[in-house]
Chain A
Amino acid sequence: MISIRNLCVEIGDFNLKNANIDVFDGEYMVMVGPTGAGKTVILESIAGLCPLTGGQVLLRGMDVTGLPPDKRRISIVYQDHALFPHLSVQENILFGLKVRKVEKKEQERMLEKVVSLLSISSLLHRSPPTLSGGERQKSAMARALCVEPDLLLLDEPLSALDPKGREDVQEKLVNIKRSLKLTTVHVTHDFEEAIALGDRICVIGEGEVKQTGSPEEIFRRPDSEFVARFAMARNIFTGVTVVSKEGEGCQFRTDGVTFSAMEGVKEANRAVVRPEEVVVSVNPLEEGKMENVFSGQISGISDKGATLLITVDLPPPISILITRREFMHLNPVMGMMAYVGFPASAVHLFHENTL
């Protein structure tokens, strides 16, 4: 297991405060957060490439905070691949084994292993500048894996790729995850990427760890407005919990409407309803089927390609994500009266510290 304890880093204006993160053996942890949130700094701190102002990095219980990067057995793959431009792909892949003076036979065995895992045998004698984005990223991953690290760090490995390269590299990442069971920390600003790949997700923002949990937890049960917004929850309401008893259902009042919720959270002042959990109809909805049924005027229609976002003013405004087929069936127009409904289980309450 890798444990980061009270990690503090200060670089220029950037300030990371008391970050605590645990990554279990064989786990694929995705660290997600907006650009400039400090994700790369955390990776470089784990690798020993960034000076710490405080805290510890523990690798399998051993404090490695004072160890130089070459003694940690932690590999890093950067967003822009960082292949050595003066070496061929094969020389790049074997770099780590050569500097460690590993026997030639072992070098050949490892080369064959990573090359077949990433399907890059045709690239071995190519020079990095002649490769496509996806090919470069796969070569950089092969180089990182060739030294058999205890921990693999991936810094936005898909961000600089075109959609085809992205799909290809993502598939390879899933392959690596399944076959090697290697402890991995992958950072990204893309929440969908985090959901698709992560065993667990750690949300970083404003120089601190905001929430760590399974994709399901982060997606459905954010514990702050920051995480809810980052998880594209869209419908975040400010209000008060009217009846709240631990373990029982409760009600949440916001802007003149009251939502029924399953969870009872004391002093909850925020409610989140994911837009894909809400149904919309031009005909009245049956009240018995869902605990929360409202009506209002359609105040916005936003085309997202495969899906559309409809906004209905209850008031307050609530966004509903529907498929294009549903849209054709519904045929909504601005100003039209619409009925919306969602179950109490779709309402997630939490307390946002507003101090």
Chain B
Amino acid sequence: MPYTAEISRANPSCIVILIDQSGSMEDPFGQGAGKRKADGVADAVNRLLQNLVIKCAKSEGIRDYYHVAVMGYGERGVGSVFSGVLSGKELIPISEIANNPARVEQRNKKVDDGAGGIIDQKIKFPVWIDPVYKGGTPMCEALRQAKRLVSSWLHQHTGCFPPIVINITDGEATDGDPEDTAEQLRRMSSEDGNVLLFNLHISSSNHAPIEFPDSENMLPDDYARLLFRMSSQLPDYMWTMVQEEGIIISDNPRGFVFNADLVSVIRFLTIGTRPSNLR
């Protein structure tokens, strides 16, 4: 049965995040004075890294269940987006990420005061990546780079839980048609199943998000249909997680969200990287 391999220190898995850093990422989520897409995505990815680190933290330290790369694509082509001492590094063990945030910010979190009110609580917010928004959208090259990282990973980890690649974008590729490269990426596999490629399309419009569609026909335009075709079908364990989140989905949904708002960005990243079988 695919997607059942244990994720352990002896048999780690890998996650590759691709972030669109093109000029249009400066626009806000939704219309009006919302948060800039680039800021929202940077926060969501920092939060994702934080959650992954915490998941891998045990009494004795960090267990390297994952190796993670965060690659950006925009004006300067495709490259690692880590800031600080990790700058320029691609696929690295989660312990290296844990111990090297670029900085740890203090942020406010609204919490229940236990007496019916809400108070601000100061929390530590480690930052690894900063928002960038400039230039075009070289998505084809980004997928090729992901393919390179994943291919070399699979070469050394033949029995691993299949690598997960999450592409976060707000626009069409400016360097060609990404469909073939996406298919080549999805065709790569470990003994436990094919690489999972998920696409998260974020939007400046106020249209409601379309989460986990199961057919092209329900999508509004060619671009949405292209991203749909580029996305893997959700494996069974993830299907169950989506159901548990209370999202109604059909039997064959793809790992794809169209017109995502910030809530569905965060939700998608959480579901898409939640492990089924950590040891």
The answer to whether A and B belong to the same complex is: no
Residues of B within 8 A of A (CB): none
